[in-house]
Homo-oligomer: A and B are copies of this chain.
């Protein structure tokens, strides 16, 4: 479940912008289509942007055996030691049945430990092991670099604005 994903190709096969009639089509491939309607939609653009970052994530984070959800969980545990599966599922919008294998794999890899919860014997507090702490430190560094590269065409201020506006959509 935490194996490295297959190499993603086709990362940037997007059509070019808004010239319908005069299409020089200098490069290879078929005639590009007029995508102006779709490119005016927040949902479409948010998805395209996420997919590009996701592809870069898969490439660079495979060496850590980490998919986006794994990074999210481990990073949350770094800053929220003892969090329960219930809390992590609520935070990341993951259904509990789909979270079981994620946690079990991390346990098998020796990255986390499940300890009895101090106040609730139904729950298990999740804690990073020393190996887990070490991996998260490397992974957070790699992700920060990855994010800088992905947003290299934005200024620091534009990147902050982008994040702020995205949060106005979903928060």
A-to-B contact residues, CB < 8 Å? 10, 12-15, 17, 20, 29-54, 57, 68, 72, 75-76, 78-80, 83-84, 86-88, 90-91, 93, 95, 140, 143, 147, 150-151, 153-154, 158-159, 161-163, 165-171
State the number of copies, please.
2
Residues of B within 8 A of A91 (CB): 14-15, 32-33, 35
- Apart from the given pairs A33-B83, A33-B87, 7 other A-B contacts in the complex at a CB distance below 8 Å: A30-B86, A37-B75, A37-B78, A42-B150, A45-B162, A49-B166, A151-B168
Please state if B153 and A158 are interface contacts (CB–CB under 8 Å): no
CB distance from A53 to the nearest CB of B (A): 4
Residue of B nearest to A95 (CB): B10
B147 contacts A76, CB within 8 Å?
A: no
A36-B79, A90-B13 known; A42+B53 contact, CB < 8 A: yes
Q: A17: nearest residue on chain B (CB-CB)?
A: B171
Contact of A34 among B31, B79, B153 (CB under 8 A): B79
A sample of 15 cross-chain residue pairs with beta-carbon separation below 8 angstroms, ordered by A number, consists of: A15-B90, A30-B84, A33-B76, A33-B87, A34-B76, A35-B91, A37-B79, A42-B151, A42-B163, A42-B166, A45-B170, A46-B46, A46-B166, A49-B166, A154-B169
Which residues of B sit under 8 angstroms from A83, Cβ to Cβ? 33
